[in-house]
Structure 1
């Protein structure tokens, strides 16, 4: 059954915003009560929406039965692939996590990964308690047409028809997407972006990821357009030979390499952050410059897109907590007025290294609406797997009409 576009809009709004009365929905959608009633009738007839407990409306009149979804009637599985592990979750329709499984990646050979993912999906399906509606899988790298892993530098895959291969082993509808796209979708419907028509997501860690939502629509990109954003023409060089780009500053590999060279020993990213917090000069300089570059990028995204909400996440986002003052300074570098006076450029490795200041939550330059504070949230790989589940949820709902009997 084909849904009217307005019916889909109503169903999604109820899913994302929660139970609402017909009058609330009609006002929000700018529809007449009669039109709203006509639109929701097929949603009620097929069980996509249900009437929940009666709510007394103000003043005289009959009680209104708010419309809602029965989230527990649905099951979705989300799988996030990393270089060394498979993270998977079972969720309901509102992406509430009901079960989790994490297993070691057997290898990066495609057949072995297919078998391992199929095994995880089978085990979680057995624990789901209901038939699984759909499965979403996300990977780092470029995914073409929801079918082909065109280029994944983390898995070392090129032109792998992963969805087709996995679909042979997984009976439920299967969807494949880039991992940052999945995380962006999760924030769009069930996270920090839920109440915003426009927002951006920036992730840092082994690489740099970028997601953008404009007018409630995820803007598709084949690659992260900010990965090699020029931050400072005198900065360090990334692996591709770009001087002073974002990747050269904020990736965990780049930061660890700089500090390890100074200390003449191998270090982990966690050790680099710990050294910075302890005031180690080399680590603190690198972490502050990375945070400063990240702040400049946040400001650039705001300037380029006009979004007022920017979410910063990823396994490397600890650099923001280690040097919040540098993040704030970078964000205000090009703000209007004199609020950024005296700030050292990100690429100046001879700049002074003050201790990390107070966390900048809630702060913005006085009178400078462009300098909006980003939301900082690490979001572990379970949350990325939840994003994969949301890829499946957005692909299926409300096209799968009717709850499970």
Structure 2
């Protein structure tokens, strides 16, 4: 059965050069035409030609602030930030978390609710209803982004999402049909990586890696300003990285030490009663020997993962993120010590810790929609639009 046609975007037909200018202004802030010409190696007449359709569409506006210096005063261009919105939705096995943001991923409204069923059409209906509520009667929502713990190589069809029991489900098509808006779906690690790259701590970097810890262990690599993608591999494979092999041949993976479920299970068994992830970290801080051992082992495994990623991916900057990454923030010195033992010849990669909750995961989904809005669909799918 053929997929339904994609809804047209406000920027349909806009030249790729105009979209490059829009991305530059989104990421860097207000820029004059002269600054844009320098940054993108364009002539001033070309910048004027390429910015004109964005101004006519009401996407860019001239700011009231004028920049003085050598030559004539320059009037910066900026995004019409109050006139355009996107919606981002994080889907878990039993919950939906949604945000409405402006084009710089700043949250203006948010909501969450239990997932009533994992049947794809019903999920699409529930998300579409959330989009209507977040739009709040306006017509300025430009797209919808959805993130899942799974694999969506074409950013439309979810090839596999074990948490939801999905296989080859056209999520973006279902949402576009119900909302009339361009829609995109991807792995939640991709969404967070997009946020970090465009609006977060990595926005000035053209090469870095991301490791996420939470329900799973995720990994993403950005090089030459583009996330590295593969149709045959998702972004959660790092959790299967082997970190120990017992004498009887039993294999221990990174996920068996690092995921929130693994930490809770191991600590609860050793402590003698059921513990939440937050309680495990709290007891470790208080010096409980069982919980402290579980946390120390998790930190050690994470340190070895960081060193391995830096070695294999040849990156000098690693961002640690995810809802379970608090253990890295609280045990940073121990984490850095492990990395140094693996890389004694240097100080190891620069590590940033970017903790997220499920609302932040939804914000990453919103960034997918922003990137889809800014970049032409044919250019954004393979690489997140860099």
Partner of 2:243: 231
How far, CA to CA, are the matches of 2:66 and 2:222 in structure 1? 34
Q: CA RMSD in A?
A: 2.4
Number of equivalences: 363
8 Å Cα contact 2:83-2:140 kept in structure 1: no
| Structure index of larger Rg | 1
How far, CA to CA, are the matches of 2:126 and 2:149 in structure 1? 18
> For 2:240, what is the secondary structure of its paired residue?
coil
How far, CA to CA, are the matches of 2:261 and 2:246 in structure 1? 20
TM-score by length of 2: 0.86
Partner of 1:118: 128
Matched, 1:81 2:91: yes
Matched, 1:12 2:20: no
- After TM superposition, the structure 1 = structure 2 runs for residues 233-382 of structure 1, keeping only pairs within 5 Å, are 233-234=245-246, 243-337=251-345, 368-369=346-347, 371-382=348-359
> For 2:181, what is the secondary structure of its paired residue?
coil
8 Å Cα contact 1:292-1:329 kept in structure 2: no
Report how far residue 235 of structure 1 moved.
Answer: 10
- Indicate how the Cα distance of structure 1 residues 296 and 161 shifts in structure 2: closer, same or farther if over 3 A, else same: same
8 Å Cα contact 1:296-1:332 kept in structure 2: no
* 5+ long unaligned stretches in structure 2: 1-11, 378-386
Partner of 1:27: 38
- After TM superposition, the structure 1 = structure 2 runs for residues 102-141 of structure 1, keeping only pairs within 5 Å, are 102-126=112-136, 129-141=138-150
How far, CA to CA, are the matches of 1:100 and 1:309 in structure 2? 31
> For 1:71, what is the secondary structure of its paired residue?
coil
> For 1:93, what is the secondary structure of its paired residue?
coil
Report how far residue 184 of structure 1 moved.
Answer: 1.0
Per-residue Cα deviation, 1:275-306 (whole angstroms, up to 9, x for no partner): 21111112111111111111111122222223
8 Å Cα contact 1:19-1:68 kept in structure 2: yes
* 5+ long unaligned stretches in structure 1: 338-367, 401-405
TM-score by length of 1: 0.82
- Indicate how the Cα distance of structure 1 residues 164 and 268 shifts in structure 2: closer, same or farther if over 3 A, else same: same
Q: Which moved more, 1:306-315 or 1:384-393?
A: 306-315
